[in-house]
Structure formats: C-alpha cells, structure tokens
Amino acid sequence: MKIGVMVESFRAGLDGGLKAAGEVGADGVQIFATRGETHPDKLTAAGRAELKRKLADHGLELAALCGDFGHGFQDPDANPKLVADSKKILDMALELGCTVVTTHVGVIPADASAPRYAVMAKAAEELGRYGEQIGATFAIETGPEPAAVLRAFLDDIGIPKGMGVNFDPANLVMLLREDVPAAVAALAPYIVHTHAKDGRNLQPVGDMEVLYGLKPPPDGKKLKWGEYMAEVPLGEGDVDFDGYLSALRSAGFDGYLTIEREVGDNPRKDIEAAVKFLRERIG
C-alpha cells in the first residue's frame, strides 16, 4: 500500500501543499477539483501540464481527485449539471495520470423504494457507465449510511469497474459506530481508494437524515455535528488501524491510504505523525 495526503489538509494552498506532501514523505496526493484553480473549467491544458510537472518535481503521484460538490446527487433538478461537471473531473483525472475520483453521493436510503434512492441511483449509474467507458472509477465515500446499505446500492447499479468505493474508516466510526474490518469485507469488491482518518463518536446520531438536514428534527432543534463526532489525529481515536489494514490486505487492496486532516491547529505536525504511523504498519 502507498501513503497519500489530501493537499488541502495542509491549509497551505496548492503549491504549499504539494511541497509539504513531498517533505513529509508521502507517495502521492489527493486534490479537490470542485473549486478554485483546480476546477476543470479553470485548469487549462497548460495548467494541467504544469500540475503534472509539479507533482513529478516533488516525487508525487496523483492518488485521486476529489469531486465532492457538497450534497451529492439527491436533487433531480440539480443533477444534470452535477453529473456533467463530474464527468469533466473524471476526464481531467485521466489527463493528470490517475483513474479515481471520489465524492459523497448523499445519504442513501436503506429502503430502495424511497424516491430519493432512484434519483441517486440514476445519477450514479450514468457516472459509473461513463467511468467504465473511459477507464476511470467514480468512488463513493463511506459514511452517511451503513456499509451494507452502500453495498446493496452498488450491487443494484452493477458497474464495479466504473463505480466503486472510497473507504473512510473514521466516517463509519464517528457517525455509525460500525465495525471497520467487517465494513471492509462487505465493500471489498468495490474499494479503489481509502482515507486514513481517525475519530470518535460522542453519542448515537439516531436519524442520519436529520443530521444531514434532509428531514426536520422532531423537536425543531437543529443538530450540531460537534455534539456527535470528533475527528482526532491518527491512532488517537476509535478506528482499529491494525484491524483496518489487515482487512484491506485480506481484501486484496494495495492502493492508497490517503491522510485527511480536516481540523486541528497544526495540520502539518499531525500529517507528518500520520505518515510515520502508517509507515510503521505497512513497511
């Protein structure tokens, strides 16, 4: 397995993030492609060639692009543009030398007859077929729903070469208190990229659709994310990393463990420690 870093986690801009990733000993990086200078509408052909040069100069590969536009594909009126923009990001990923684009699709309903399920499945199927056609994979990040629900959704779509999983163990722990090795086993055929992130669940969430704002809270009081979950440095949370890595090996995964640090006062320090933490476990 290889170690990657989300460039934005350094909070140092693109160039600063690439430089820092090389300095802390990462093998590759993941970059957001939904905003700023790396949005496909802004990154020209010359800009893409320059980005490839910068990656090479720092001894880095592009592990994945992040194509997360926020609320996923739950709104049928918004989906045509979101799907079109997502296809542009898949195209750009190939130009930059990688085959994976990650995103959240929204909260997948456990009930496949729910209207939102069909809306999300239609968008995911279109993207999966496009990915399969061009040789790239659109990877859904774990988190809002149990692994078993995501697996059923992917099986329904039935395009494993074009539609896969970005496995984030912390999301499953922080939101759902899931057994991470069991979740890896459930999603094994679809895992094409992973995040190395840690966290704790502070109290049961209850209804995930209420937390994500899809349904109003019964008492009218908006839920606060910080009351339910806390992201912490690698090795300090509830993710069983030895079990997680063992499960990934058993599943035949040999790709990227991409460090994502979304909070903390000194992300560079936390990321450097995370690289060391992972190197000690994967060799």
Ordered structural domains, the chain, with CATH: 2-282 (3.20.20.150)
Mapping DSSP onto H, E and C, the string for the chain reads CEEEEEHHHHCCHHHHHHHHHHHCCCCEEEEECCCHHHCCCCCCHHHHHHHHHHHHHCCCEEEEEECCCCCCCCCCCCHHHHHHHHHHHHHHHHHCCCCEEEECCCCCCCCCCCHHHHHHHHHHHHHHHHHHHHCCEEEEECCCCCHHHHHHHHHHHCCCCCEEEEECHHHHHHHHCCCHHHHHHHHHHHEEEEEECEEEECCCCCCHHHHCCCCCCCCCCCCCHHHCEEEECCCCCCCCHHHHHHHHHHCCCCCEEEECCCCCCCHHHHHHHHHHHHHHHHC
pLDDT at 207: 80
pLDDT at 212: 84
pLDDT at 71: 76
pLDDT at 82: 96
pLDDT at 233: 95
pLDDT at 200: 96
pLDDT at 99: 97
Q: What is the pLDDT of residues 90-123, one digit of tens each?
A: 999 999 999 999 999 999 999 999 999 999 999 9
pLDDT at 264: 85
Q: What is the pLDDT of residues 31-69, one digit of tens each?
A: 999 999 999 999 999 999 999 999 999 999 999 999 998
Low-confidence spans in the chain with pLDDT less than 70: none
pLDDT at 65: 98
pLDDT at 220: 74
| pTM metric for this prediction | 0.95
